[in-house]
Structures are given as structure tokens and as C-alpha cells.
Amino acid sequence: MEPELKNRLFPFHQVKGEESLVPQGRLLIIGDVHGCVRELEKLLKTLNPQKEDQILFLGDLINRGPDSKTVLSMARTLNASSLLGNHEYRLLKHIHQPGSIILRSYEANLLDNLDSDDWNYLSSMVLWFEQPNEKRLFVHGGFLPKVPWHQQSAEIVTHIQTIDKQGIPRRRGEIPDAVFWTDLWDQEPFVIYGHTPRQKVVKTKTTIGIDTGCVWGGHLTALILPEFEIVQVKSKKNYIK
Ligand SMILES: [Mn+2]
């Protein structure tokens, strides 16, 4: 990798959405793809994006599923923006701080295949987007409720699922009585997130989670704004088995 590119990878940009997320047409939000390229193709056929529409991926475009590299190249071709997921975060961390993570075999394989266009795209991913006028915020994982959201680290916002009694962000299932972060988020802005796969889209008054576990045999979900319409494609199989 060229050193110049490497220097651009950290710190992650923290871009506000005013410029980028005022689409002329629809805003098409797509949940965690995880390399599920055929489901993504099918979803795009249904969404039928027009020139004036803006596509935003919620992160975790890569890993676990069949073809991460093609998903990255499709995202570029679509001129789509993307949030940084925990899977992209790990790759960037590995490049910036070699030895800081233990690579899984699928990550090592993917690293061998990424070219500079892929790295440029990965390094363009941001921690969040904001639509200040709509009081909406987009993030991969979520936020701690008691800390100003724009001060939260990449580690937190790409990974958080639950919060334990000490207020520490956790993975779902790590601590049995930890509450999900959205249960404590009773404030503006309205948060749209992915990362936690569930059978159905999960809504609260102030959040909506659209990771419906495509790579686990669930669905790939898109949310169309401003209509708040959900479009789903059934996964072809459970790719994890
Ligand atoms: Mn994730």
C-alpha cells in the first residue's frame, strides 16, 4: 500500500451530513451486506436508483459472505456513501497498527485481494452522517446515551450493542442483564443503524435498526427516506454454516 494512502486512513473522518446527505431525490439506506452480492443486486433492481437519489450503506459491506470485493466495487460504481462498520474498522486498524488485531482467515484472504480503489473507498467511510434539518443520524452500531454522540469513538460507535450496569458498551449476549443501547436512547436525533442482526426491522420512538441478517439467511433490508418505506430481499442461504 502507498504510504500516502495509509496516512489518510486515520483518524477517521467525522463528517457532518449537511453537504452529502441532502439528496435531490430519495435517500436509499442499505443495511449490512457482508459480501452478499446477489442479494444486493436484487435489492438494487427493486430500488431502481435514479440519478437524483443518494445511496447510503450502513457499514459492514464486507466479510463473512461470498464476495466482499464485488460489493465494494458496486458501491463505488453506484457513487454510494458508506458508514464505517466494525468489519471495515478492523481492516483499517490492522493497516495502521499492524499486530493490533488477530486476523481471521477470511480477513487475511480479503486483504490479499484489495486494490487501491478498494482502499480509497474504505478510507472514505465515515463514523456517522447527520441530517440536521430532519434531526436524523446514521451510524453503524449505535451510541452511548449519556455522552454527546459526536464525541464518541470509532470503537464505540461501530461496535456497541448493549450497555452494562457500569455504563460500558458491550456485545449482545456478553452480559445477560445488559440493556440494548436503544432502550436508553430517548432523545433526538432519531438514529438509523445496522450491526445487530435480527429477524425483523426493530423500531423504537427514536431509533430504527435495519440489519436483518442477510448473511445469516435472513433478509437484506433497505429503508427509503423520506417515505420511511422498507424494501427487503430474502437471502439465498445462510452463508455462515
Ligand atoms: Mn457490524
pLDDT at 4: 58
Residue 6 lies in a domain: no
Burial of 124 (0-12, 13-18, 19+ CB in 10 A): middle
C-alpha cell at 59: 457499514
Distance 220 CA to ligand 1 centre (A): 14
Q: Considering the entire predicted model, what is its pTM?
A: 0.93
What CATH number does residue 175 fall under?
3.60.21.10
Query: DSSP 3-state assignment of 82?
Result: strand
Residue 19 CA to ligand 1 centre (angstroms)? 26
Residue 128 Cα to ligand 1 midpoint, Å, equals: 14
C-alpha distances in angstroms, 134 versus 17, 37, 174, 207? 11, 31, 34, 13
The DSSP bridge partners found for residue 193 are 139, 209
Query: What integer pLDDT is reported at residue 7 of this predicted model?
Result: 56
Determine the distance separating the centroid of ligand 1 and the alpha carbon of 103, expressed in angstroms: 16
Q: Is residue 196 part of a domain?
A: yes
* Cα 89 to middle of ligand 1, angstroms: 10
- According to the model, what pLDDT value does residue 23 have? 75
Query: 113 lies in which domain range?
Result: 20-234
Residue-level pLDDT at 6: 58
In a domain, 5, yes or no: no
* Predicted pLDDT of residue 151: 86
* Tens of each residue's pLDDT in the chain, 241 residues: 555 555 555 554 555 544 556 678 999 999 999 999 999 999 999 999 999 999 999 999 999 999 999 999 999 999 999 999 999 999 998 988 888 899 999 999 999 999 999 999 998 898 998 888 889 999 999 999 989 998 888 899 999 999 998 889 998 888 888 999 999 999 999 999 999 999 999 999 999 999 999 999 999 999 999 999 999 999 999 999 8
Is 35 within a domain? yes
Number of folded domains in the chain? 1
Q: What is the pLDDT of residues 47-58, one digit of tens each?
A: 999 999 999 999
Phi-psi region of 223 (alpha: psi -120 to 50; beta: other; left: phi over 0): beta
88 alpha carbon – ligand 1 mean position (Å): 9
Cell of 139: 451510524
Question: What per-residue string of b and e applies to 197-211 under the rule 16 or more CB within 10 Å gives b?
Answer: beeebbeeeebbbbb
For ligand 1, the distance from its centroid to the CA atom of residue 194, given in whole angstroms, is 7
171/200 Cα distance (integer angstroms): 19
Model confidence pLDDT, tens digit, residues 68-107:
999 999 999 999 999 999 999 999 989 888 888 999 999 9
CA–centroid distance, 201 to ligand 1, in Å, is 15
117 falls within a domain: yes
